[in-house]
């Protein structure tokens, strides 16, 4: 079985001479729950964009399920929640409509206007139930709290029945309690659906107890291992944000 994600000797720069990531090698096995952390500007989002084939490395190779990421046939198996995805939701769309849009990449939905087929409706309702929003399914997303909105977008990602779920800073602007609830939810999804989870955050306190692996990114990979073996210096916030 190929790795879900495999980077080998990757170097990347947006502009010539300004290298953002260097010497990145990383393999993620299907079913792993990995936290990617590091300071602002460390290169986390860039790493994710390389993994998703949205950027191409200057050097090295990026594989998704064994295929070059930029022309992977498995793109529809990946659900990506981009950084700041949930902000400024002022459209009148309901939770159910937003989550149903998550079915579009699968080709399962015959357009939002048409009646959803029974199976499609069940998948959408199931994803909403998983994130605990059944009571809000027909509420406009903009009427939900920030944490509930995050959950709605996670339900949208889940509706695509992904084998790889990538969340970039899903808890920005969300309180500690909601961060911990989200971490527990991801842990549950990871265990019950065997989905591979890449959870990006510059803070990893909330997921630390759940993840088997923490990758710290700061111009490259500066740590890769179980959170428990993280050198003490990285726990120092002043260092992490330097």
Ligand X SMILES: Nc1ncnc2c1ncn2[C@@H]1O[C@H](COP(=O)(O)OP(=O)(O)OP(=O)(O)O)[C@@H](O)[C@H]1O
Residues that bind ligand X (CB under 6 A): 14, 20, 38, 40-46, 83, 169, 202
For residues 20 and 69, which CB has a smaller minimum distance to ligand X in the complex? 20
The burial class, CB within 10 Å (0-12 / 13-18 / 19+), for 15 is: exposed
3 state DSSP class of 82: coil
For residues 44 and 218, which CB has a smaller minimum distance to Mg ion in the complex? 44
For residues 43 and 227, which CB has a smaller minimum distance to ligand X in the complex? 43
Q: How far is the CB of 220 from Mg ion (least distance, A)?
A: 16
Q: Which of the residues 55 through 114 are near Mg ion (CB under 5 A)? A: 83
For residues 20 and 85, which CB has a smaller minimum distance to ligand X in the complex? 20
For residues 19 and 93, which CB has a smaller minimum distance to ligand X in the complex? 19
Residue 46 near which of ligand X, Mg ion, none (CB within 5-8 Å, type-dependent): ligand X
Does position 171 interact with Mg ion (CB under 5 A)? The reply is no
The Cα–Cα gap between 235 and 195 comes to 28
Closest CA to 153 of 87, 54, 77, 78: 87
Q: How far is the CB of 145 from ligand X (least distance, A)?
A: 23
Which residue(s) pair with 37 in the sheet?
216
Q: How far is the CB of 43 from ligand X (least distance, A)?
A: 4
The answer to whether the CB of 110 falls within 8 A of the CB of 134 is no
Residue 189 near which of ligand X, Mg ion, none (CB within 5-8 Å, type-dependent): none
Radius of gyration of the chain (CA): 18
Residue spans of beta strands (DSSP E) within the chain: 5-15, 18-28, 33-37, 59-64, 67-68, 78-81, 164-168, 196-200, 213-217, 221-225
Q: Which of the residues 20 through 49 are near Mg ion (CB under 5 A)? A: 44-45
CB atoms near residue 18 (< 10 Å) = 7
Residue 190 near which of ligand X, Mg ion, none (CB within 5-8 Å, type-dependent): none
- Chain residues binding Mg ion by CB under 5 A are 44-45, 83
């Amino acid at each position: 079985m190929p790795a879900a994600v495999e980077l080998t000797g990757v170097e990347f720069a947006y502009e010539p001479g300004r290298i953002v990531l260097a010497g990145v090698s990383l393999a993620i096995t299907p079913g792993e729950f990995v936290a990617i952390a590091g300071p602002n500007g460390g290169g986390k989002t860039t790493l994710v964009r390389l993994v998703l084939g949205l950027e191409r490395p200057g050097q090295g190779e990026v594989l998704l399920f064994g295929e070059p990421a930029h022309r992977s046939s498995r793109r529809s198996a990946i659900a990506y929640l981009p950084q700041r995805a949930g902000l400024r939701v002022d459209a009148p769309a309901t939770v159910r409509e937003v989550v149903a849009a998550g079915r579009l990449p699968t080709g399962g939905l015959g357009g939002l206007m048409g009646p959803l087929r029974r199976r499609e409706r069940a998948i959408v309702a199931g994803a909403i139930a998983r994130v605990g929003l059944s009571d809000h399914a027909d509420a406009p997303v903009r009427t939900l709290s920030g944490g509930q909105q995050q959950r709605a977008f996670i339900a949208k990602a889940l509706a695509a029945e992904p084998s790889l779920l990538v969340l970039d800073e899903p808890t920005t602007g969300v309180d500690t309690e909601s961060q911990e609830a989200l971490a527990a939810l991801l842990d549950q999804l990871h265990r019950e659906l065997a989905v591979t989870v890449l959870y990006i955050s510059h803070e990893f306190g909330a997921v630390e107890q759940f993840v088997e692996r923490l990758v710290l990114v700061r111009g490259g990979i500066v740590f890769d291992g179980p959170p428990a073996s993280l050198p003490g210096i990285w726990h120092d916030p002043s260092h992490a944000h330097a």
